[in-house]
Structure 1
Amino acid sequence: MRVGKNVKHVSIGDRVGVGAQALSCMQSDCPECSSGQENHRGRAFVQTYAMPYPDGSGNSYGGYADYNRTPGHFVFQIPEGLASAVAAPMLCGGVTVFSPLKHNGCGPGKSVGILGVGGLGHFGILFARALGADRVVGVSRKSSKRQEVLSLGADEYIATDDDENWASTNARLLDLIINTVSSSKMPLTDYLSLLKVGGTLIQVGNPDGGSLPQLNAFTFIVNGIKFGGSCIGSPADIREMLELASKKQLKPLIEERPMEDANDVLVDMGKGLARYRYVLVNSRNL
């Protein structure tokens, strides 16, 4: 193991993590990198998933490896109070919901909805509560998730498959919605009806092909609502998220599996068995 000569924030022996992003251009004249928005794809954006580094030095391999090579700006110290297995899924899934919650005003006085309570959405419930929202509402299809969602910290749960009037019953309920749903057939107009006047929906779920349901402009005009998107989170967001998770002792729902079972884990994910994040443990390096 080695640490580059210009890296000052971590040392050999520290417990560290790397998220979904391995590199940005990090140039002072880059609008994104110079404003703490490295995650929004400036001149260079390298994911940690087998993408080539632009200097020709190789690819960003390492997800299933014993060792990983990543520029120091995208390597994060894990706080003492946070277990490695808890921190690991936060570095991608966790910050994907933490960042839009933080940047769109989640906190005291706000009513926040999380659409789709799964791998991403359950993090949304945890972080909306940790950020101090007055009211946290989980929205998913099945009523069977109700008690689990409430146990994560939600104040209310809406099961859309079990109440045909759910949209009208809960109209203008929320200031902010984080939408983790990735189906191109989602009832997006109904989701938007849950927003108060001037409310905001942030899309983080990415449907296959990127297509969203057709929307009527009148929906936005009459209600004065805003519709945006968010991509993972910046290094600053990740550091803040980890500190908050440690301080609040957040407990995401995870299942640890041996690294050797990676193929089986992928099969189980395809079957929808994850509740809600699998964490691969490399026992050779514990």
Structure 2
Amino acid sequence: MFSCVGFAASSSDTPLHPFSFERRETGPADVRIDIRYCGVCHSDLHQARNEWGGTVYPCVPGHEIVGTVAEIGSDVSRFKVGDLVGVGCMVDSCRQCASCKDGLEQFCEEGLVGTYNGQDRHGRGNTLGGYSGAIVVDQDFVLKVPENLDLAAVAPLLCAGITTWSPLRHWKVGPGQRVGIVGLGGLGHMGVKFARAFGAEVVLFTTSASKVEDGLRLGAHEVVLSKDPEAMAKERGRFDFILDAVAANHDINAYLELLKRDGTLVQVGAPEAPMPVSVFSLIMKRRNFSGSLIGGIAETQEMLDFCGEKGITSDIEMIPMDQIETAYERMLRSDVKYRFVIDMKTLPASV
């Protein structure tokens, strides 16, 4: 075991605070990573405040992790000390079920092991995440980061990036398709970038006129204000695919109506309340309404490699560790363009 410093929530209603804890030593198949940057995901806030239920305290959030390999186990062959690497939303799975064997560990039938607030499969307790100075992860869940990219701006690719990449790839979004992206937040801005890079005609839907200029800058060919009934009516039946990245409650039927026959809407945003769906929106045009959850390890590596080739990263705002609660409150107001990233140099050396 070795001592590690991080920031943790001790309960659902107390601010995150400096926290000293023990990490396991590097095992034969493990990679020890000195964390340099960690993205701030909305799910970090949900978990820290127990808004989804089931949070185990103390909780050290963070699953958009990038850093440098500090030590490798005796059986590790794909990484060496000094490599730039990343860790996303999961650090283990059963590896034996059909989903795992298909490279879709996120759908593990026994349940993936989350990077934080997950139960270690080897009896080592609750997992603690990337708001910390270091982490030890099995090599099979460590990713190589292209050296030509801004490392801090890579961090959100490990969640926001793969969450949007996976459905766009699975449904084969590409040239000749008209694709809608709903919402311009941490997820949505990556959806716009990827859909444009894949060659689709990209239309951003937003409730905010202040985001029109940014939507066009990020790669949208057109921006539609979804609060404008006339603008929405003009888009009915025109889309092959829509990616909905909105986590707030909203009318999903307004977007289902925009799909062509056999078009697909995929939900990646996670509103708290169930969303009523008009069956007639589906059956009259044989439309599809689906969902998607991050991506498997191989798929995530494919995304990172593509980003390295195309020079794609997230738009970020860097914060020091002690500003995390302020970042959470700003995130709730959608006051970030478009992902907060914590500079781990600002962690205290000791507690």
Taking structure 2 as the reference length, the TM-score comes to: 0.76
Q: 1:26 is matched with which residue?
A: 95
What percentage of aligned pairs have identical amino acids?
Answer: 37
Deviations 1:156-195 (A, max 9, x none): 111012x2223321011111111111223x1211100111
Q: 2:155 aligns with which of 73, 78, 88?
A: 88
CA distance in 1, matches of 2:291, 2:74: 37
1:136 partner amino acid: V
Written as runs of structure 1 = structure 2, the 5 A alignment for 1:114-133 is 114-133=181-200
Asked if the contact 2:180–2:204 (Cα under 8 Å) also holds between the matched residues in 1, the reply is yes
CA distance in 2, matches of 1:62, 1:189: 37
RMSD of Structure 2 on Structure 1 (CA)? 1.5
CA distance in 2, matches of 1:56, 1:170: 53
Asked if the contact 1:167–1:193 (Cα under 8 Å) also holds between the matched residues in 2, the reply is no
* 1:164 equivalent in alignment to 2:229: yes
Q: 1:241 is matched with which residue?
A: 303
Asked if the contact 1:255–1:279 (Cα under 8 Å) also holds between the matched residues in 2, the reply is yes
Q: 1:188 is matched with which residue?
A: 252
CA distance in 2, matches of 1:268, 1:182: 15
* 1:103 equivalent in alignment to 2:167: no
Asked if the contact 1:130–1:244 (Cα under 8 Å) also holds between the matched residues in 2, the reply is no
Q: 1:226 aligns with which of 288, 303, 308?
A: 288
Secondary structure of the equivalent of 2:113?
strand
* 1:204 equivalent in alignment to 2:268: yes
Q: 2:238 aligns with which of 173, 182, 185?
A: 173
Asked if the contact 1:60–1:69 (Cα under 8 Å) also holds between the matched residues in 2, the reply is no
Asked if the contact 2:92–2:113 (Cα under 8 Å) also holds between the matched residues in 1, the reply is yes
CA distance in 2, matches of 1:132, 1:6: 41
* Shift, 1:153, TM fit: 0.6
Secondary structure of the equivalent of 1:263?
helix
Secondary structure of the equivalent of 2:247?
coil
CA distance in 1, matches of 2:332, 2:256: 29
* Shift, 1:108, TM fit: 1.4
Q: 1:147 aligns with which of 200, 213, 238?
A: 213
* Shift, 1:54, TM fit: 2.0
Deviations 1:71-125 (A, max 9, x none): 2111111011112111100100111001000000111121111011111100000
CA distance in 1, matches of 2:117, 2:151: 23
1:177 partner amino acid: I
* Shift, 1:272, TM fit: 2.5
* Shift, 1:253, TM fit: 1.6
Secondary structure of the equivalent of 2:179?
strand
Unpaired runs of 5+ residues, structure 1, are: none
Secondary structure of the equivalent of 1:268?
helix
Secondary structure of the equivalent of 1:242?
helix
2:190 partner amino acid: F
Asked if the contact 1:60–1:70 (Cα under 8 Å) also holds between the matched residues in 2, the reply is no
Instruction: Tell me whether 77-86 or 149-158 shows the greater mean CA deviation.
Output: 77-86
Secondary structure of the equivalent of 1:175?
strand
Secondary structure of the equivalent of 2:119?
coil
* Shift, 1:155, TM fit: 0.4
Instruction: Tell me whether 198-207 or 47-56 shows the greater mean CA deviation.
Output: 47-56
CA distance in 1, matches of 2:340, 2:301: 22
Instruction: Tell me whether 243-252 or 145-154 shows the greater mean CA deviation.
Output: 243-252
Asked if the contact 2:321–2:346 (Cα under 8 Å) also holds between the matched residues in 1, the reply is no
Q: 2:83 is matched with which residue?
A: 14
Unpaired runs of 5+ residues, structure 2, are: 1-69
Asked if the contact 2:185–2:334 (Cα under 8 Å) also holds between the matched residues in 1, the reply is no
2:90 partner amino acid: Q
Secondary structure of the equivalent of 2:340?
strand
Taking structure 1 as the reference length, the TM-score comes to: 0.92
